[in-house]
Structure 1
Amino acid sequence: MTPHTMSVAEAIRTRRTVRHYRPDPIPAATLDTLLALAIEAPTSWNLQDRSIVAVTSDEGREALAWATGGQPQPQEAPLMLVFVAEPLSWRDDHSDVYDQARRSGAWNEEFVTMFSAASQAFQTDLEERGLLREYAVKDAMIAASYVMLAATEMGLATSPMNGWDETKVKKTIGIGDRDDLAIALLMSVGYPAEERRHPGRRAQERNVFHESYGSPGNTCTSS
């Protein structure tokens, strides 16, 4: 029998936030696949200005439990992912990104020249408006969303975590002295030790609008 492959829609509807986990380790191949899918996430100007730190050691997870005020996820889940935003990475050399795009046939030389200049101008404007951190965090959060859906398809549970101390998290993953980096999100990953039921969401008309905020969708009728 061919195993069932979960659709994206099924993963969205199935995913729940899980706080308690079995101690079973995640196979290395599964982790590699999960992280490979994470970095496929969209990223503004293809800057890829976010990184992921995978923490599996007892010491590392204990430190993250300390950084989260003793929450159970780092203590129980075999894997913690720390999503790091890199607001100043746009200043780095991105020739490898452009070379890869050339080789794949996605971008030609004319496009690379235009794109590079436009990207620099865009980031400079963000810097002047104090928005570099915000944009890098957005990219990291998109990658985190990919992880949650991919993990669900793999039979893994996740919990995107709030309630952590950024200074402590940065110290835990070895970037305590890096003011140029920011922590976007912590996420626990593992095999669930509990079943969480969907609490439901408000009716779509409560928070989905058309054309302008607060405007209900139009109903088309035939004459």
Structure 2
Amino acid sequence: MTNRTASVADAIRTRRTIRHYRPDPIPDATLTALLDLAVEAPTSWNLQDRSIVVVTDPAGRAELARATGGQPQPQEAPVVLVFVAEPQAWREDRADVYERARRSGAWNEEFIAAFDAESTAFQTDLDRRGLVREYAVKDAVIAASFLILAATELGLATSPMNGWNEAEVKQAIGIGDRDDLAIALLVSLGHPAESRPHPGRRAPERNVFRERYGA
């Protein structure tokens, strides 16, 4: 695995969005470690309502390049990660989630029973208000953020990508017929072929407030 080169704080401060990559592959052990960290990200009601599709095949990356309007990241980066939001995950069996919590000692039977009922009620209300997709996308993007920082810590480069056609991305990863799923984010991953200076951020007092917005 690549040697660690930065703390989390350093990763936050030094991360840049990289559009051009060297073709060097990402070692399997490194990629596995990054994915393990990504799925540690928090999710609403611990639904874990997001998945990650790892695309390394040149043909698959070419499809993603077309879906992103010809952006260079999928063409050059050896790995593209597609973060898929699963808005209907709350309807699925969560026995495995509860069993893990039992084994770890985090949740007892009383808590699991109450949690199951309350989380179902919460998601039912979200569904009624048309918000389940929004919540699942948020969870997927949090996972992507974890991976981006972990990759930076290892000296790798990423680019969180917008500007894609959702239907085409879904087709590229084999879920073209899945209206129950949504694409949250694409993230390219690889060794940088460019260096980008930090353009800077506004001073915190411009967009950090206490107690009330604009205060």
Deviation at 1:4, TM superposition (A): 6.0
1:8-35 alpha-carbon deviations (Å, 9 max, x no partner)? 1111001100000000000000000000
Count of residue pairs the alignment pairs up:
213
SS at match of 1:101: helix
Q: Aligned in 2, Cα 1:194/1:98: closer, same or farther, shift over 3 Å?
A: same
> RMSD of the alignment, in Å?
0.8
Is the contact between residue 4 and residue 155 of structure 2 (CA under 8 Å) also seen in structure 1? no
Q: Is 1:135 matched with 2:135? A: yes
Q: Which whole-Å CA distance do the structure 1 matches of 2:173 and 2:46 have between them? A: 25
Q: TM-score, normalised by structure 2?
A: 0.98
Identity within the alignment, %? 75
1:155 is paired with a residue whose SS is: coil
Q: CA shift at 1:107, angstroms?
A: 0.3
CA separation in 1, counterparts of 2:42 and 2:87? 16
Cα offset, 1:6, TM superposition: 2.1
Q: Which residue of 1 aligns with 2:195?
A: 195
The residue correspondences of 1:1-223 to structure 2 (distance < 5 A) are 6-215=6-215
1:179 offset after TM fit, Å?
0.1
1:8 & 1:154 partners in 2: Cα distance?
A: 10
Query: Residue 151 of structure 2: SS of its match in structure 1?
Result: helix
For each residue in 1:141-199, what CA deviation from the matched residue of structure 2 results, as whole angstroms up to 9, or x when unmatched?
Answer: 00000011000011100000011000000000000000000000001000000001100
Report the equivalent of 1:218: none
Kindly indicate whether the alpha-carbon contact (under 8 Å) linking 2:4 and 2:154 is maintained by their aligned counterparts in 1: no
Residue type of the alignment partner of 2:203: A
Q: Give structure 1 regions of 4+ aligned residues with deviation exceeding 3 angstroms.
A: none
In structure 2, relative to structure 1, the CA distance for the partners of 1:4 and 1:85 (3 Å cut) is closer
- Superposition TM-score, scaled by structure 1 size: 0.94
Query: Take 2:136 and 2:4, find their aligned partners in 1: how far apart are those partners?
Result: 36
SS in 2 for 1:74: helix
- Give 2:186's aligned amino acid: L
- Structure 2 gap ranges (5+): none
Cα deviation 1:33-82 (Å, max 9, x = unaligned): 00000000001100000000000000100000010010000000000000
Return the alpha-carbon distance in structure 1 between the equivalents of residues 4 and 47 of structure 2.
Answer: 35
Within 2, Cα distance between the matches of 1:4 and 1:25? 18
* Counterpart amino acid of residue 57 in structure 1: D
Offset at residue 7 of structure 1 (A): 1.5
- For 1:75 and 1:145, the matched residues in 2 are separated by 22
For 2:124 and 2:21, the matched residues in 1 are separated by 44
Q: Distance in 2 between matches of 1:65 and 1:152?
A: 23
